[in-house]
Structure 1
């Protein structure tokens, strides 16, 4: 279904945040009448639970509802709307239905923002007129003038769930459990995430070293051609360099991103660019000029003798393991914890058992659960207490790493606010 299919049908725009407002404005520009469904004022401000009788009647009366990503498919109202016969779609699917041939989408539990940004950077460097859009913050409706030749789209699991057409090229960076409340279960999360591969992509680019990911992609999209990183395409050597099959190479010290997991992301972006016709030497030159995104293994200014690293977007245990693995030779003080969403911390605690050089500083409900169930780390009453100790002479580490493995909402309004508190502690004299 595309936007033109909505003409002459009764349409409801479900949600009026940033994406809902852009959909409503676009429909108005196309001359397509529609109802805007917002939370009933008397039911409170939370858009996930505050839809009452008025909203329900509008959605059930609609032939098509364009749902915002923030509304979970596990909500009772979503089930009622689908059961009532309303077709539920999304901005992503409406747009993709018209633009799939020029779209390279990047999805994954972690690494998608960096990989998408790097791929867009490489394509621009090669003169391919790419634009970066999607979950990274720019609406797909914001078309540059002249229109871009290629759209690199960061694709969340929320957005992928609704797709009925796949992008031309899909890059899958990693897979581990995330957003389980929204999706309903771990298996539903994987199904919804990999729905992006299930509708005829030209190719799916995957990390060749991740057997579990490869198996899930094959199961979700048995007919999709796979293009895997490795020594026959673009791979990562034992010493952390990115190497092409023709011998083109970017050594580890020349890579713009810290850690082997980031080298894999670079290889994925390079392989996707090569599939799109960009020569290895051009990709390699572009890689060297890329700069890391904020809050992803980002070194921040510090006033003590230690290195402070902001990895506050690592909000799953597996992401923390990858970040720690990029610092194998450093004595690390690791800040872990925050709001508890019930994720399994065993991958992290198993890894920490092999890294006695890591001093673990635990905060928040998630940190308390790690402390109580695994018996690791030192529990602090607040984030402020933890970073104060990290700055003190009691801390034996040379690196202080904020890689929380959990959201920030126990103490902070956002991950940016938590990051700001970390940076302020690093710079304090």
Structure 2
């Protein structure tokens, strides 16, 4: 346990004050929130129950912001006028329960930062595809010459950018955990890509609770705002029956014609947000291939059309985009075997999309921290495309139970190196080795990036 020595008298004594902001979690969002809060004149204290990395310790020390690591000192937290919490801290955490019982406001970094900027926001959420869609949308807007930032669940902290920069627009990737702590925040353009079972351990294992969290993306919207959603997504459509939509709506679909929004017909995307101003583009021209990426491209394309960007700019950007690391990332081809890093697939639906896009036999590396996964939706794809499963996790029993009748070989491994070597031996020329875990990474790795990087390093050693 450690406490930074730059504590001021107010912090030392634990005195309450209307001007005291406590930040729980000293990662990217927490450190950014601390910077902005300090800039706005608050008495700031940062507390992290885990170990604060050297990068963020150095940032806090440079700003002379007091902090503690590997502990929560209640006397220094419960006296806050407001708490900004990391999305990773659940509402059931003891310190959060005590704060709520005291009537202390607990908000997300996004909620706090939005108070201090007049920039417009494009907010993108969904169980799958939100990082890719956020990056593609940012790419299109930036190429069109907009003064735009990228933040939220991706890139640099929103609060830090509000403190340091002056953007007119932000593209924000927003997770359900962030939405849970957003109250007065309003998205000018809200995008809901899909709702599939994910993080159910945080929502009492009830899909309707998780769906309600996702639908907070539309809260506070008016008829001057925009809501974009997938008309093919069953759970989204169910949620739309429950929640009142005030904003202008633009659905997208690959199965039916849409009057105002986007649809697919004869391998051509049609995007129409205003009469006589249609954008058409062949799916072969898209930088992102695969059915799920048609959806992502449609969503980004509607955003661009709503903002009245030129068709030529949108087409060029959608054709030149490079996808993110750890999302169906081609690593190498060795002995005729393709190695693909999809470590960002931390839920079953993401892995379904990955398998659906595969055109060869697959040796699938999967496993990790199971979040209440239902593997049934993978069974048909596993039967038709997967020749072997290499489990990468501490407890692989549920994967064995789910697929023991569907594949001949299921092997347990406990490191990225071991998993990669065994997958290489199980594959033959023309096959693909796909790391698409369907699970969180925290049993063996720091995060999904660490898992993906270790896999890539192991592939390069083959």
Shorter-chain TM-score: which interval?
Answer: 0.7 to 0.9
Distance 1:416 1:18, change over 3 A: closer
Question: Is the contact made by 2:371 and 2:439 (CA closer than 8 Å) also made in structure 1?
Answer: yes
Which residue does 1:200 correspond to in 2? 221
Alignment of 1:166-181 (within 5 A): 166-181=186-201
**Residue 332 of structure 1, aligned match among 350, 356, 362:** 362
Q: Secondary structure at the match of 1:229?
A: strand
TM-score for the superposition, normalised by structure 2:
0.80
Tell me by how many angstroms 1:8 deviates.
4.6
Matches within 5 A, 1:37-186: 37-39=47-49, 54-55=73-74, 57-99=75-117, 102-141=120-159, 142-143=161-162, 147-164=166-183, 165-186=185-206
Structure 1: tracts of 5 or more residues without a match: 1-6, 42-46
- Does 2:315 correspond to 1:284? yes
| Aligned partner of 2:343 among 295, 305, 312 | 312
Aligned-pair CA distance for 1:37: 3.9
Task: Describe the superposition over 1:204-230 as per-residue Cα deviations: whole angstroms up to 9, x where unpaired.
Answer: 111122132122144244434321014
Which residue matches 1:362?
A: 390
Residues 80 and 421 from structure 1, CA distance in 2 versus in 1: closer, same or farther, beyond 3 angstroms? closer
Q: What is the CA–CA distance in structure 2 between the aligned matches of 1:323 and 1:416, rounded to whole Å? A: 17
Of 271, 287, 298 in structure 2, the residue corresponding to residue 244 of structure 1 is 271
Q: Greater CA deviation, 277-286 or 142-151?
A: 142-151
More strand per residue: 1 or 2?
2
The alpha-carbon deviation at position 120 of structure 1 amounts to 0.9
* Structure 1 residue 279, shift from structure 2 partner: 3.1
Following superposition of structure 1 onto structure 2, how do residues 225-240 of structure 1 map, counting pairs within 5 Å? 225-230=248-253, 231=257, 232-233=259-260, 235=262, 237=264, 240=267
Q: Whole-Å Cα distance in 2 between the matches of residues 40 and 404 of structure 1? A: 25
1:342 is matched with which residue?
372
Greater alpha carbon shift after TM alignment, 412-421 vs 253-262? 412-421
Could you say which residue in structure 2 is the equivalent of 1:4? none
Distance 1:28 1:420 in 2: 35
C-alpha displacement at 1:23, in angstroms? 2.2
Among 395, 408, 414, the residue aligned to 2:441: 408
Deviation digits for residues 30-49 of structure 1 (CA, Å, limit 9, x no counterpart): 222244444499xxxxx9x9
Aligned-pair RMSD on alpha carbons?
3.0
User: Deviation digits for residues 177-233 of structure 1, max 9, x if unmatched?
Assistant: 222334444333322232121221512111122132122144244434321014434
Judge conservation of contact 1:105–1:169 (CA < 8 Å) in 2: yes
| Match in the other structure for 1:3 | none
Secondary structure, aligned partner of 2:444 = coil
> 2:300 corresponds to which residue?
269
Separation of aligned partners in 2, 1:25 and 1:207: 37
Distance 1:299 1:17 in 2: 29
- 1:10 deviates by 4.0
Q: Is the 8 A contact 1:366 1:406 kept in 2?
A: no
Q: How many residues align?
A: 413
Q: 1:144 and 1:13 mapped to 2: Cα distance?
A: 16
TM-score, normalised to structure 1's length? 0.86
Distance 1:333 1:240 in 2: 30
What's the CA shift for 1:106?
A: 0.8
User: Are the equivalent residues in 1 in contact too, given 2:128–2:349 (CA < 8 A)?
Assistant: no
